[in-house]
Amino acid sequence: MAFNVQAELRATGDLGLIIEREAGSALIIDTTEHKQLARIDKLGDLSHASVVFSRDQRFAYIFGRDGGLSKIDLLQDKLDKRIVQAGNSIGGAISQDGTLIAVSNYTPGGVKIFSADTLELVADIPADYDNGKLSKVVGLVDAPDQRFVFSLFDAGEIWTIDMSAPKKPKIEKFKNVGKFPYDGLITSDGRFYIAGLFGESGLALLDLWEPEKGIKRILPDYVKPDEQLPIYKMPHLEGWAVADDYIFVPAIGKNEVLVIDKQSWKLVKAIPVAGQPVFVMARPDGRQVWVNFATPENNKLQVIDVKTLNLQSTLTPGHAVLHMEFTPRGENVWVAVRDDDQVLVYDTHTLKEIAHLPAQKPNGVFFTSRANKIGF
């Protein structure tokens, strides 16, 4: 033997994590073999968890609801480091160069930025407004030129932070963007940041190539106050859905997916769907858009045909379909079905189930291919 074999050799490019909400654990999975490799425990409250990956795809960073930030080593199946950095958190992002991890916090409202290597604090940015109040922070994404962009839910603001000089974060604030921005997305080219508004109709758009032009409001009147339906679950914009010059976003207070033209920023079509959309995600090639829903329609998934902008199919994967993740080139989609304690794998071409894995109350699936995508 030319080398000493101590463990099974493993590359990380087709690995991923399944989050187990109540157990506070994560499964390391092989996306090609459809199998579980390891379970990592003691990750805290993962009832709203998201994950980013180091650019070498060796480490996963899990953002927990309880302010926990856990760094998982996918090569060694172990928890590498863990800190609890706030009382209540909602997600995070990794910087363009992979050296910084930013976390968006509800309590205390703000963003904290850590070394991706050591998880030591690099910058603490309170989301202050109105003479010392702190706003909950949502929709935090990475952007080109070593920036982070996020929205202040309570303050109705969008901020950008330039971390080119980590000791001197350069903050730019955009005020009065609209009432209660609830989440944000960045387009895959890193140019446009869009925040969805909960408190009023429409979305707030920031062109990062021309920030001096300020915020543009789009679709200001797609829903009239008197026709707004109750919203049983806050939609997500993370996992942009940009396909064929269109951006697909969940409507707020209507059972529709909105199709917006990326050139004119006008509404092209409102596609009626089964319920209130939560995740609206494009298959990586943009041919299909997949949608899941808030309760009570959360047993369904619907697939939109991007060529015709019509519904192509309705699937019923099971009870409480919470999240989905496409393989890098989109031949499969993995679907977390919380109340059935499993993750299903679908062939996106035939729309047939091809595999399933047991998982305890899964609420999220995240693949290492996110490491190389802006906004993930």
Partner 1 sequence: MKKTLLLLCISLNCLAAEPTSVRQAELRHLLKNDCGACHGLTLKGGMGPALLPDNLQGKPDEFLINTILQGRKGTAMPPWKAFMNTDDALWLVRQLRKVPQ
Binding site for partner 1 (CB under 8 A): 21-22, 45, 47-48, 65-66, 87-88, 90, 106-107, 136, 153, 180, 182, 198-199, 230-234, 295-296, 320, 338-339
The full 3-state SS of 224-281, as one line of letters, equals CHHHCCCCCCCCCCCCCCEECCEEEEECCCCCEEEEEECCCCCEEEEEECCCCEEEEE
Cβ closest to partner 1, residue 24 vs residue 375: 24
Cβ closest to partner 1, residue 48 vs residue 58: 48
Q: Are 247 and 218 contacting, i.e. CB atoms less than 8 angstroms apart?
A: no
Minimum Å gap between C-beta 149 and partner 1 is 20
Minimum Å gap between C-beta 295 and partner 1 is 6
d(CA 151, CA 134): 12
Minimum Å gap between C-beta 278 and partner 1 is 10
Cβ closest to partner 1, residue 171 vs residue 229: 229
Cβ closest to partner 1, residue 185 vs residue 278: 278
Minimum Å gap between C-beta 296 and partner 1 is 7
DSSP string of 36-102?
EEEEE------TT-EEEE-TTS-EEEEE-TTSEEEEEETTTTEEEEEEE-SSEEEEEEE-TTSSEEE
d(CA 187, CA 175): 21
Sign of CA dihedral 153, 374, 232, 221: positive
d(CA 47, CA 90): 10
Cβ closest to partner 1, residue 228 vs residue 310: 228
DSSP string of 103-146?
EEEEETTEEEEEETTT--EEEEEE-EETTTEE--EEEEEEETTT
Cβ closest to partner 1, residue 48 vs residue 283: 48
Minimum Å gap between C-beta 195 and partner 1 is 15
Q: Are 360 and 20 contacting, i.e. CB atoms less than 8 angstroms apart?
A: yes
Minimum Å gap between C-beta 231 and partner 1 is 5
Minimum Å gap between C-beta 44 and partner 1 is 10
d(CA 260, CA 267): 5
Q: Find how far residue 204's CA is from the centre of its chain.
A: 18
* CB-CB neighbours of 273 under 10 Å: 23
Cβ closest to partner 1, residue 137 vs residue 289: 137
d(CA 197, CA 174): 15
Cβ closest to partner 1, residue 22 vs residue 245: 22
Minimum Å gap between C-beta 182 and partner 1 is 8
| Contacts (Cβ under 8 Å, ≥6 apart) of 346 | 315, 317, 332, 333, 335, 352, 353, 354
Minimum Å gap between C-beta 181 and partner 1 is 12
Minimum Å gap between C-beta 111 and partner 1 is 17
- Please tell me the total number of residues recorded for the chain in this structure: 376
Looking at residue 109, its amino acid is: G
Cβ closest to partner 1, residue 21 vs residue 58: 21
Sign of CA dihedral 39, 11, 239, 318: negative
Cβ closest to partner 1, residue 200 vs residue 244: 200
